[in-house]
Structure 1
């Protein structure tokens, strides 16, 4: 088993600085709860982790298939409960591709391999919440 670790340090009020593999990320709360909006909230960063994990998988798989889109974006929509502890109860990953010669069956294969085999973030989330996805080809 490989151990990973991050550390956050309190800056002031509700702001913290995270050290992630030598990269600094400031997280903060909104002004309505004592923060100064100096950085993102922690919960959306869970969506960033998912999007980054699956996006890297998909683009890597597509490159091996010799398919390179002009543009590739991943959006994640998350539904959060209204009662405490406020948590995600479902997420939807939307894969957006733009370019010529983008065979849908290969895009689906790359997405499927990421979601079912390679993306550890997706695998972990699937154990806790409902996960869906969609592939969109933009004109």
Structure 2
């Protein structure tokens, strides 16, 4: 079984240094709660993980389908509960494609394959929270 590990080291105050796949990410809290805003908070990184995972899948699948887009963005919105521990109750993914005469059915197929078969982050989150998505096409 494959394993992943990250190392997170406390720096000072609310700041931590995370070593992820040989890269350093500084995590910190806002100044309202004793941090210095030196880096992102942990919960938004959960949204980042989903966007990156599904985005990489979609790009890879479209490449295999020989579909070229002029631009591609993934937006993930997360709704947090009001009560503690505050956690995501819902996430919504928007896949934004830019280009001319893009084949909508192939874009949809790539997104579906990512969401239903390949993206491990999506599969894990789907077990715990509501996860929805949409595709937007910007004609250039």
Q: TM-score range by the shorter chain?
A: over 0.9
In 2, Cα distance between the equivalents of 1:26 and 1:7?
A: 12
**1:130 and 2:130 equivalent?**
yes
- 1:101, CA displacement in angstroms? 2.9
Query: Which residue of structure 2 aligns with residue 52 of structure 1?
Result: 52
**1:71 and 2:71 equivalent?**
yes
In 2, Cα distance between the equivalents of 1:135 and 1:102?
A: 12
**1:117 and 2:117 equivalent?**
yes
In 1, Cα distance between the equivalents of 2:48 and 2:108?
A: 21
- 1:78, CA displacement in angstroms? 0.4
Matches within 5 A, 1:103-114: 103-114=103-114
Unaligned runs of 5+ in 1: none
Secondary structure, in 3 states, of the residue corresponding to 1:85? coil
Figure out how many residues of one structure are paired with residues of the other and give that number.
139
Unaligned runs of 5+ in 2: none
In 2, Cα distance between the equivalents of 1:61 and 1:102?
A: 15
